[in-house]
Protein backbone atom coordinates (compact mmCIF):
# COMPACT_ATOMS: atom_id res chain seq x y z
CA UNK A 1 0.00 0.00 0.00
CA UNK A 2 1.22 3.52 -0.75
CA UNK A 3 2.32 5.47 2.30
CA UNK A 4 -0.07 8.36 1.57
CA UNK A 5 -2.95 5.90 1.19
CA UNK A 6 -2.01 4.26 4.51
CA UNK A 7 -2.05 7.67 6.23
CA UNK A 8 -5.36 8.47 4.60
CA UNK A 9 -7.16 5.18 5.39
CA UNK A 10 -6.04 5.38 9.00
CA UNK A 11 -7.58 8.90 9.16
CA UNK A 12 -4.15 10.28 10.05
CA UNK A 13 -3.92 12.81 7.22
CA UNK A 14 -5.40 13.60 3.84
CA UNK A 15 -3.18 12.57 0.93
CA UNK A 16 -2.02 16.14 0.38
CA UNK A 17 -1.28 16.59 4.11
CA UNK A 18 0.66 13.31 3.97
CA UNK A 19 2.78 14.55 1.06
CA UNK A 20 3.55 17.80 2.93
CA UNK A 21 4.41 15.91 6.14
CA UNK A 22 6.81 13.62 4.24
CA UNK A 23 8.56 16.64 2.71
CA UNK A 24 8.80 18.23 6.18
CA UNK A 25 10.38 14.97 7.55
CA UNK A 26 7.49 14.47 10.00
CA UNK A 27 6.96 10.88 8.79
CA UNK A 28 9.21 7.90 9.48
CA UNK A 29 8.93 4.34 8.16
CA UNK A 30 10.79 1.90 10.41
CA UNK A 31 12.69 4.86 11.82
CA UNK A 32 13.84 6.13 8.42
CA UNK A 33 12.42 9.15 6.50
CA UNK A 34 10.69 7.83 3.34
CA UNK A 35 11.78 9.02 -0.12
CA UNK A 36 8.31 10.29 -0.93
CA UNK A 37 4.62 9.80 -0.07
CA UNK A 38 4.19 7.25 -2.86
CA UNK A 39 6.61 4.80 -1.21
CA UNK A 40 5.12 1.31 -0.76
CA UNK A 41 4.72 0.03 2.79
CA UNK A 42 3.37 -3.14 4.37
CA UNK A 43 0.60 -1.95 6.72
CA UNK A 44 0.82 -5.11 8.86
CA UNK A 45 4.61 -5.08 9.34
CA UNK A 46 6.11 -1.64 8.83
CA UNK A 47 6.14 0.83 11.73
CA UNK A 48 4.95 4.21 10.51
CA UNK A 49 5.34 7.29 12.70
CA UNK A 50 3.52 10.53 11.98
CA UNK A 51 4.50 13.62 13.95
CA UNK A 52 6.24 11.37 16.50
CA UNK A 53 3.29 8.98 17.04
CA UNK A 54 3.03 5.42 15.78
CA UNK A 55 0.09 4.98 13.42
CA UNK A 56 -1.90 1.78 13.95
CA UNK A 57 -3.44 0.17 10.90
CA UNK A 58 -7.15 -0.56 11.09
CA UNK A 59 -9.33 -2.11 8.47
CA UNK A 60 -12.42 -0.08 9.37
CA UNK A 61 -13.53 3.05 11.17
CA UNK A 62 -16.45 3.45 13.57
CA UNK A 63 -17.45 6.96 14.58
CA UNK A 64 -20.11 7.88 17.10
CA UNK A 65 -21.73 11.24 16.34
CA UNK A 66 -24.20 13.31 18.34
CA UNK A 67 -26.25 14.54 15.41
CA UNK A 68 -27.59 18.09 15.62
CA UNK A 69 -30.73 19.26 13.81
CA UNK A 70 -30.35 20.53 10.25
CA UNK A 71 -28.11 17.78 8.83
CA UNK A 72 -29.29 15.02 6.52
CA UNK A 73 -28.22 11.39 6.93
CA UNK A 74 -26.44 11.04 3.60
CA UNK A 75 -22.91 11.02 2.25
CA UNK A 76 -23.52 13.96 -0.02
CA UNK A 77 -26.44 16.10 -0.99
CA UNK A 78 -26.61 18.88 -3.57
CA UNK A 79 -28.51 21.27 -1.29
CA UNK A 80 -28.34 20.22 2.36
CA UNK A 81 -25.48 19.82 4.82
CA UNK A 82 -24.83 16.15 5.57
CA UNK A 83 -23.68 14.48 8.77
CA UNK A 84 -20.31 13.92 7.08
CA UNK A 85 -19.80 17.69 6.95
CA UNK A 86 -19.39 17.52 10.74
CA UNK A 87 -16.13 15.53 10.44
CA UNK A 88 -12.67 16.95 9.65
CA UNK A 89 -11.37 16.71 6.10
CA UNK A 90 -9.06 13.75 6.76
CA UNK A 91 -12.18 11.62 7.35
CA UNK A 92 -13.72 12.51 4.01
CA UNK A 93 -11.43 10.20 2.03
CA UNK A 94 -12.42 7.11 4.04
CA UNK A 95 -15.74 6.37 2.40
CA UNK A 96 -17.69 6.70 5.67
CA UNK A 97 -21.48 6.59 5.54
CA UNK A 98 -24.27 6.78 8.14
CA UNK A 99 -25.36 3.38 9.43
CA UNK A 100 -29.12 3.95 9.31
CA UNK A 101 -30.98 7.20 8.96
CA UNK A 102 -32.25 9.92 11.21
CA UNK A 103 -34.56 12.63 9.87
CA UNK A 104 -33.05 16.06 9.28
CA UNK A 105 -34.58 17.43 12.50
CA UNK A 106 -33.92 14.31 14.62
CA UNK A 107 -31.01 14.54 17.07
CA UNK A 108 -28.70 12.14 18.79
CA UNK A 109 -26.71 8.99 18.31
CA UNK A 110 -25.54 8.20 14.81
CA UNK A 111 -22.94 5.62 13.82
CA UNK A 112 -20.72 6.45 10.86
CA UNK A 113 -18.59 3.70 9.38
CA UNK A 114 -16.88 2.42 6.25
CA UNK A 115 -17.72 -1.17 7.20
CA UNK A 116 -20.44 -2.06 4.70
CA UNK A 117 -20.81 -5.63 5.88
CA UNK A 118 -21.32 -4.66 9.53
CA UNK A 119 -23.84 -1.95 8.56
CA UNK A 120 -25.73 -4.40 6.38
CA UNK A 121 -25.96 -6.86 9.26
CA UNK A 122 -26.97 -4.28 11.86
CA UNK A 123 -29.68 -2.86 9.62
CA UNK A 124 -31.02 -6.23 8.51
CA UNK A 125 -34.70 -6.50 9.52
CA UNK A 126 -33.98 -10.05 10.68
CA UNK A 127 -31.59 -8.89 13.37
CA UNK A 128 -34.00 -6.60 15.27
CA UNK A 129 -31.29 -4.30 16.63
CA UNK A 130 -33.07 -2.08 19.16
CA UNK A 131 -33.06 1.70 18.92
CA UNK A 132 -34.23 3.94 21.75
CA UNK A 133 -35.52 7.48 21.32
CA UNK A 134 -36.36 10.20 23.79
CA UNK A 135 -39.44 12.00 22.47
CA UNK A 136 -41.87 14.82 23.18
CA UNK A 137 -45.35 15.09 21.71
CA UNK A 138 -47.82 17.95 21.26
CA UNK A 139 -50.78 16.36 23.09
CA UNK A 140 -50.75 14.22 26.25
CA UNK A 141 -50.74 10.47 25.61
CA UNK A 142 -53.28 8.23 27.35
CA UNK A 143 -52.65 4.76 28.75
CA UNK A 144 -54.94 3.36 26.06
CA UNK A 145 -52.88 5.04 23.29
CA UNK A 146 -49.66 3.68 24.80
CA UNK A 147 -51.19 0.19 24.80
CA UNK A 148 -52.05 0.58 21.10
CA UNK A 149 -48.51 1.81 20.42
CA UNK A 150 -47.07 -1.24 22.20
CA UNK A 151 -49.27 -3.66 20.27
CA UNK A 152 -48.19 -2.20 16.90
CA UNK A 153 -50.10 0.34 14.82
CA UNK A 154 -51.36 0.52 11.26
CA UNK A 155 -49.73 3.48 9.50
CA UNK A 156 -51.38 5.69 6.87
CA UNK A 157 -50.01 3.53 4.03
CA UNK A 158 -51.41 0.33 5.58
CA UNK A 159 -48.08 -0.88 7.02
CA UNK A 160 -48.52 -2.65 10.35
CA UNK A 161 -45.64 -1.86 12.69
CA UNK A 162 -44.04 -4.45 14.91
CA UNK A 163 -44.80 -4.12 18.62
CA UNK A 164 -42.77 -1.23 20.05
CA UNK A 165 -42.21 -0.17 23.62
CA UNK A 166 -43.16 3.20 25.05
CA UNK A 167 -42.35 4.42 28.57
CA UNK A 168 -44.18 7.62 29.42
CA UNK A 169 -42.95 10.33 31.79
CA UNK A 170 -45.30 11.78 34.39
CA UNK A 171 -46.00 14.83 32.21
CA UNK A 172 -47.66 12.45 29.64
CA UNK A 173 -45.99 14.52 26.89
CA UNK A 174 -42.58 12.83 26.80
CA UNK A 175 -40.86 9.52 27.31
CA UNK A 176 -38.72 6.82 25.69
CA UNK A 177 -39.70 4.69 22.69
CA UNK A 178 -37.92 1.45 21.78
CA UNK A 179 -38.13 0.22 18.19
CA UNK A 180 -36.82 -2.97 16.62
CA UNK A 181 -37.34 -1.76 13.06
CA UNK A 182 -36.63 1.44 11.18
CA UNK A 183 -39.24 2.43 8.64
CA UNK A 184 -39.22 5.88 7.04
CA UNK A 185 -40.35 8.53 9.62
CA UNK A 186 -41.56 5.62 11.73
CA UNK A 187 -42.08 7.31 15.09
CA UNK A 188 -43.61 10.44 13.55
CA UNK A 189 -46.02 8.28 11.55
CA UNK A 190 -46.86 6.14 14.59
CA UNK A 191 -47.77 9.29 16.50
CA UNK A 192 -49.80 10.55 13.55
CA UNK A 193 -51.73 7.26 13.66
CA UNK A 194 -52.63 8.29 17.23
CA UNK A 195 -53.59 11.81 16.00
CA UNK A 196 -50.60 13.23 17.82
CA UNK A 197 -47.42 14.99 16.69
CA UNK A 198 -43.76 14.60 17.58
CA UNK A 199 -42.18 17.90 18.67
CA UNK A 200 -38.76 16.55 19.71
CA UNK A 201 -36.95 13.32 18.79
CA UNK A 202 -33.52 12.22 19.92
CA UNK A 203 -31.94 8.77 19.48
CA UNK A 204 -30.34 7.75 22.74
CA UNK A 205 -29.21 4.24 21.83
CA UNK A 206 -28.49 2.03 18.86
CA UNK A 207 -27.97 -1.66 19.68
CA UNK A 208 -25.29 -1.78 22.40
CA UNK A 209 -24.25 1.87 21.88
CA UNK A 210 -25.64 4.61 24.08
CA UNK A 211 -25.32 8.35 23.51
CA UNK A 212 -22.55 9.53 25.86
CA UNK A 213 -23.71 12.34 28.14
CA UNK A 214 -20.44 14.20 27.69
CA UNK A 215 -20.60 14.24 23.88
CA UNK A 216 -21.85 17.69 22.87
CA UNK A 217 -24.37 18.14 20.09
CA UNK A 218 -22.46 18.09 16.80
CA UNK A 219 -19.42 16.42 18.42
CA UNK A 220 -18.09 12.99 17.49
CA UNK A 221 -15.49 10.48 18.61
CA UNK A 222 -14.25 7.04 17.50
CA UNK A 223 -15.90 4.11 19.32
CA UNK A 224 -13.93 2.85 22.29
CA UNK A 225 -12.49 -0.68 21.86
CA UNK A 226 -15.25 -1.96 24.23
CA UNK A 227 -18.00 -0.28 22.18
CA UNK A 228 -16.49 -1.64 18.98
CA UNK A 229 -16.42 -5.19 20.40
CA UNK A 230 -20.03 -4.90 21.58
CA UNK A 231 -21.12 -3.65 18.17
CA UNK A 232 -19.35 -6.45 16.31
CA UNK A 233 -20.94 -8.96 18.71
CA UNK A 234 -24.41 -7.45 18.06
CA UNK A 235 -23.90 -8.04 14.34
CA UNK A 236 -22.86 -11.70 14.74
Catalytic residue list: 103
Residue from 118, 201, 209, 211 in contact with ligand URA (CB under 6 A): 201
String of contacts with ligand URA for each residue 57-96, x by CB under 6 A: ----------------------------------------
**Of the candidate residues 187, 209, 211, 223, the single one contacting ligand URA (CB under 6 A):** 187
Strand-strand pairing, 107-113 and 198-206: parallel
Whose Cβ is closer to ligand URA: residue 29's or residue 187's?
Answer: 187
182 contacts 106 by C-beta, under 8 angstroms: no
HEC string for the chain: CEHHHHHHHCCCCCHHHHHHHHHCCCEEECCECCCCCCCECCCCCCCEEECCEECCCCCCCEEEEEECCCCECCCCCCCCCEHHHHCCHHHHHHCCEECCCCCCCCEEEEEEECCHHHHHHHHCCCCCCCEEEEEEECCCCCHHHHHHHHHCCECCCCCECCCCEEEECCCCCEEEEEECCCCCCHHHHHHHHCCCCEEEEEEEEECCEECCCCCCCCCEEECCHHHHHHHHHHCC
- Site stretch for ligand URA (CB under 6 A), options 78-86, 142-150, 184-192, 222-230: 184-192
Site for ligand URA in 91-130 (CB under 6 A): 102-103, 106
Minimum separation from the CB atom of position 201 to ligand URA (A): 6
Closer by beta carbon to ligand URA, 50 or else 133: 133
Of 172 and 192, CB closest to ligand URA: 192
Q: Name which position in 2, 60, 148, 185 contacts ligand URA (CB under 6 A).
A: 185
Minimum distance from residue 186 beta carbon to ligand URA (Å): 4
Number of amino acids touching ligand URA (CB under 6 A)? 8
* Residue 166 makes contact with ligand URA by CB under 6 A: no
Instruction: Enumerate binding residues for ligand URA (CB under 6 A).
Output: 102-103, 106, 185-188, 201
Amino acid sequence: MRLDKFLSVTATATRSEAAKAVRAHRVLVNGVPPKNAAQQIDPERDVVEYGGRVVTYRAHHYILLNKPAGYVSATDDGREQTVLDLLPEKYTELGLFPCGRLDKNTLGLMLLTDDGELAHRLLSPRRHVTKRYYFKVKFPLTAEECARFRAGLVLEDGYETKPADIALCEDMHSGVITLVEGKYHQIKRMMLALHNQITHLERISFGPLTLPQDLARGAWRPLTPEEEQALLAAAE
